[in-house]
Amino acid sequence: MPAFAVFIREETTDPAELALYRSKAGATMQGHPVTPLAAYGAIEVLEGPQIEGAVILQFPTMAEARAWYESPAYAEARAHRFAGAKFRAFLVEGIAR
């Protein structure tokens, strides 16, 4: 079943660190079966607190999503995300079609 990695940026705390993250994150997807579905487009919050942005990535399986998230390349990049902003991130399994 497909899986989705969802990232919700709640608050930027260090723009320079966040810029470093952005400069590194894209390259971490090479070699992984990922399809970006949404990335910081227009947002309309329907419930809950306002957010700064969101990203949704699709993978063929939860294992593939976890493999990307836990890869050494993404681990190095996400350290800058942790230092640059408050995020919520999760993996969710999709529906088989």
Tokens 């919520």 sit at which residue? 88
62-81 mean pLDDT: 98
CATH of the domain at 57: 3.30.70.100
Global pTM value: 0.94
User: Which of 17-21, 60-64, 79-83, 93-97 has the least mean pLDDT?
Assistant: 93-97
Domain enclosing residue 28, as ranges: 3-93
CB atoms within 10 A of CB 8: 17
Measured distance CA(37)–CA(90) in Å, rounded: 15
Number of domains within the chain = 1
Mode of pairing for the β-strands spanning 3-12 and 85-93: antiparallel
Measured distance CA(54)–CA(75) in Å, rounded: 19
**Terminal-residue alpha carbon distance, the chain:** 8
Residue 72 tokens, joined:
């050494």
pLDDT of residue 97: 76
- Cβ atoms of residues 64 and 87 within 8 Å: no
